[in-house]
A and B are shown apart, each in its own frame.
Chain A
Amino acid sequence: GNSVTQMEGPVTLSEEAFLTINCTYTATGYPSLFWYVQYPGEGLQLLLKATKADDKGSNKGFEATYRKETTSFHLEKGSVQVSDSAVYFCALGHNQGGKLIFGQGTELSVKP
C-alpha cells in the first residue's frame, strides 16, 4: 500500500545552519508529494508541493525535489531561522480520491 517514512526527530540546529529532513515514499501510480508545517497549537499549513517526477517545489527558502528513481522528497533549507521551529510533515496525495497519507512528522528546533 501507499506509505510515507520521514527521518525521526527531534532535529536541533543553530540559526543559519543547513537543514535536510529526509522523506521517502511507497506508492502505486504517480502520486503528488507535499510538505506541510505545523506550528504549536495550529493546524497544518501547506509549505510546498510537487506533482510529477523531477518537479521542484519551493517556498520561503525551503525546497524539495520529487525523485522517482529514489522515491524521495527530501526537504532542504540553506539557512534556518528560529521562526522555522515547528513540526514538518511529508505527505503523499493519493491519486484516487485525493486523500493525504502523512509521515510521522519531524520536529525541528532552531536555537539562536
Chain B
Amino acid sequence: EAGVAQSPRYKIIEKRQSVAFWCNPISGHATLYWYQQILGQGPKLLIQFQNNGVVDDSQLPKDRFSAERLKGVDSTLKIQPAKLEDSAVYLCASSLEAAGSQPQHFGDGTRLSIL
C-alpha cells in the first residue's frame, strides 16, 4: 500500500512569513495526526483529526497555527506568521482508527527552517 505522503520536503522562510504543509494519509485511514519534532526531541502532537472533525488540538498554538481536513482525506497545516521557534520537522501520521493500540504510519516529514 502507498504510505503517507507529505509535501514539501523542505521549506525555508523568513520570520513573520506564512507557510503551508500538505499531507495525504494512507487510503482508508480515518485518523490523521500532525506532530512537531524539534531537533533532538521526540515528536509532539499538534492536532488530531477523526475523519474531518478535530479530536484534539489542545497543543496547537491557535494564534498562529491552523489545520483542516475538509473532505476527511488529505490535510493542510498552516503557520502564519512564523516565528524562529517554529523551526522543526512537521510529521503527518495516520491510523485506521483513534485507539491507543493502533500503530500510526508516518510520512517523511517537512523540514521547516525559519531565518
Contacts and interface: CB of A to CB of B under 8 A. Distances in A.
Contacts of A97: 48, 55-56, 98, 100
B45 A99 contact: yes
A43 B91 contact: yes
A94 interface: yes
Contacts of B107: 43
Interface residues on B, range: 20 to 34
B43 A99 contact: no
Contact of B91 (A32, A34, A41, A44): A44
Contacts of A44: 43, 91, 93, 106
Contacts of B104: 46, 98, 100
Interface string B9-37: 00000000000000000000001010100
A51 B105 contact: no
B103 A104 contact: no
Given A44-B91, A44-B106, A100 B40 contact: no
Contact of A98 (B4, B95, B106): B95
Contacts of B68: none
B86 interface: no
Contacts of A96: 100
A93 B109 contact: no
A89 B40 CA distance: 11
Interface in B34-53: 35, 40-45, 48
A103 B6 CA distance: 24
A99 B42 contact: no
A102 interface: yes
Interface string A90-110: 010111111111111100000
A45 interface: yes
Given A42-B108, A43-B108, A89-B42, A95 B103 contact: no
24 contacts: A36-B106, A43-B4, A43-B108, A44-B43, A44-B93, A44-B106, A46-B104, A49-B101, A51-B101, A89-B43, A93-B99, A93-B100, A93-B102, A96-B100, A97-B56, A97-B100, A98-B31, A98-B95, A98-B98, A98-B104, A99-B33, A99-B56, A100-B93, A104-B40
